[in-house]
Amino acid sequence: MTLETPTVEMHPQRWGDPAAASDLPESARGLVELAFGLRDRPAVTGATPPAVALDDALLEGLRALVGAEHVLVDDETRTLRTRGKSTPDLLRARSGDLSDAPDAVVRPDGHVEVVAVLAWAAEHRVAVVPFGGGTCVTGGLAARRDGFAGLVSLDLVRMKRLLAVDDVSMSVTLQPGLRGPEAEALLAGHGLTLGHYPQSFDHASIGGFAATRSSGQSSAGYGRFDAMVVGLTAATPTGSLDLGSSPANAAGPDLRQLLLGSEGAFGVITSVTVRVRRAPAVTTYDGWRWPSFDAGSDAMRTLAQAGLLPTVIRLSDETETAINLADPTSIGGTDDPGCLMITGYEGTAEQVDARREAVSAVLTGLGGTALGEEPGRKWVQGRFDAPYLRDSLLDHGVLVETLETATFWSNRARLHDDVKEALQAALGEGSLVLCHVSHVYETGCSLYFTVAASQADDPLAQWQTAKAAASDAIIAAGATITHHHAIGTDHKPWFAQEIGEVGVRVLRAVKAELDPVGILNPGVLIP
């Protein structure tokens, strides 16, 4: 089954659907002006990408493989396939820097055409950047081009089919170019859901979820994306891989794991078979107030270790709680808003009632104050809006960016304090550092930080300094450089420290075997 609706292209210099872009809400203007000052930072318009480096003979070769209409070299299409959507990506785009634009955008339809394009690229030393939804935030779409005859964006937008449904085993096979809502729409026709809702859901793709080991906001109930994958096919320059012949096995190391998180450096994922669930009949969200971040985190740990997690659970620290609430005193009815936790339940009415009752009893027993459904409703309504707000803040001279990490419960408080301190010290007085626990496991959790600061003259350098300080603090605290945003180019130095010299050699050896010419995403992932 396939979809006929055209994919919504994101704005080249902003997040998301251009039709949904908005200015800073009037209600927030006063607060933002007070905290950071308001200065207009208009984006440069009219910039064009560098001249196409591939000559006609090479382009003709590509056209023969996928059809002339699927090899695009116009400025607009190349601009739309330049980098991802991190704040540094947006700052570069806003400054008119299109130096990372591909020479051509190639749109294969299916595994066989992908294999052919990779063979062509290896033969002619052309770098290939697989492109799913373009929501990457770690520089994973800005591959190196030196040493190559050119660079093409391998746009998977034509590969949007639901290939198979096995509703006995509760798994489906999807092509990689399906965006989050498109995949859910196809599954809804069968009464099924993936339950994978990252904040980038509207634009990110199935292949991208697999290639970056993404984690959605409902991960407590549905699991991380990599945990849903039971099988996949991938095209590499040296051949194809078809992995996942059983739900579980002991057939040596799990090669699926080599492709999951490989960020286009080992191969192009051309289909994934994922575990699905019945679409929930009921969804309910609640708010809880905690006197402190420690108390709320301990409650999350208790639930996780008791096997009693809701479908969604997240906890904002004191600063994030205060900032996120238009009226901080509205929570718990006191001047001290404490820390806001959101819990969400999905399933049949019986499942939701039973789980909600059991979780609520534990949370009440641990000192949480129930705030009813209103905070949960507000969170659900606004869960995909923050990236649009980032654009309006950038328009007005405020630097906004996020980063994330994960660690064991016993190290959670240290990690929170060290990263917060590093960011605050680097960004200086007046900056804001917010944090929430975004994903939880029996043994630990992920921490997600958001910063806001008045933009310096060079906001890119300002952020890079702060990000390096935070990354150093993360590694010094023994945590991971990324829980779900992946490595890209930005995290490589810290990734190398995390996996050590032998780990780096293993990755280089796999790369050399699967991609001996090194055409796939050069400079991405492999330290």
Ligand X SMILES: Cc1cc2nc3c(=O)[nH]c(=O)nc-3n(C[C@H](O)[C@H](O)[C@H](O)COP(=O)(O)OP(=O)(O)OC[C@H]3O[C@@H](n4cnc5c(N)ncnc54)[C@H](O)[C@@H]3O)c2cc1C
Q: Which is nearer to ligand X, 43 or 352 (CB)?
A: 43
Closest approach of ligand X to the CB of residue 130, in Å = 4
**C-alpha closest to that of 193 among 214, 170, 210:** 170
Q: Which is nearer to ligand X, 200 or 450 (CB)?
A: 200
Residue type, 425: A
Q: Which helix (H) or strand (E) holds 129?
A: strand 126-131
**C-alpha closest to that of 136 among 153, 116, 150, 120:** 153
Closest approach of ligand X to the CB of residue 210, in Å = 7
Exactly one of 222, 285, 345, 448 is catalytic; which is it?
A: 448
Please state, in angstroms and rounded to a whole number, the distance separating the CA atoms of residues 276 and 279. Answer: 9
Closest approach of ligand X to the CB of residue 404, in Å = 8
Q: Which is nearer to ligand X, 390 or 416 (CB)?
A: 390
Instruction: Examine the residue annotation and report whether 441 is marked as an active-site residue of this protein.
Output: no
Dihedral (CA of 192, 300, 386, 379) sign: positive
Q: Which is nearer to ligand X, 38 or 232 (CB)?
A: 232
Q: Which is nearer to ligand X, 203 or 301 (CB)?
A: 203
> Within 10 A of 410 (CB to CB), how many other CB atoms are there?
10
400 is in an annotated binding site: no
Closest approach of ligand X to the CB of residue 306, in Å = 26
Which residue in this structure is represented by tokens 């990690």? 415
Q: Which helix (H) or strand (E) holds 331?
A: none
Please state, in angstroms and rounded to a whole number, the distance separating the CA atoms of residues 287 and 370. Answer: 6
Minimal CB distance residue for ligand X: 208
Furthest-apart CA pair in the chain: how many Å?
72
Closest approach of ligand X to the CB of residue 40, in Å = 23
201 is in an annotated binding site: no
Binding site for ligand X (CB under 6 A): 15, 84-85, 129-137, 140-141, 156, 176, 198-200, 204-205, 207-209, 211-212, 214-215, 263-264, 268-269, 387, 484-486, 521, 524
Phi-psi region of 82 (alpha: psi -120 to 50; beta: other; left: phi over 0): beta
Phi-psi region of 414 (alpha: psi -120 to 50; beta: other; left: phi over 0): alpha
230 is in an annotated binding site: no
213 is in an annotated binding site: yes
Please state, in angstroms and rounded to a whole number, the distance separating the CA atoms of residues 214 and 209. Answer: 5
Q: Which is nearer to ligand X, 54 or 211 (CB)?
A: 211
214 is in an annotated binding site: yes
263 is in an annotated binding site: yes
296 is in an annotated binding site: no
DSSP summary character for residue 70? G
CB 150 within 8 A of CB 58: yes
The strand pairing partners of 231, in sequence order, are: 273
Interior angle at CA 35, CA 29 and CA 39, nearest 5: 60
Closest approach of ligand X to the CB of residue 332, in Å = 27
Query: Catalytic residues, which ones?
Result: 448
List the binding residues for substrate: 390
List the binding residues for FAD: 212-215, 263-269
List the binding residues: 212-215, 263-269, 390
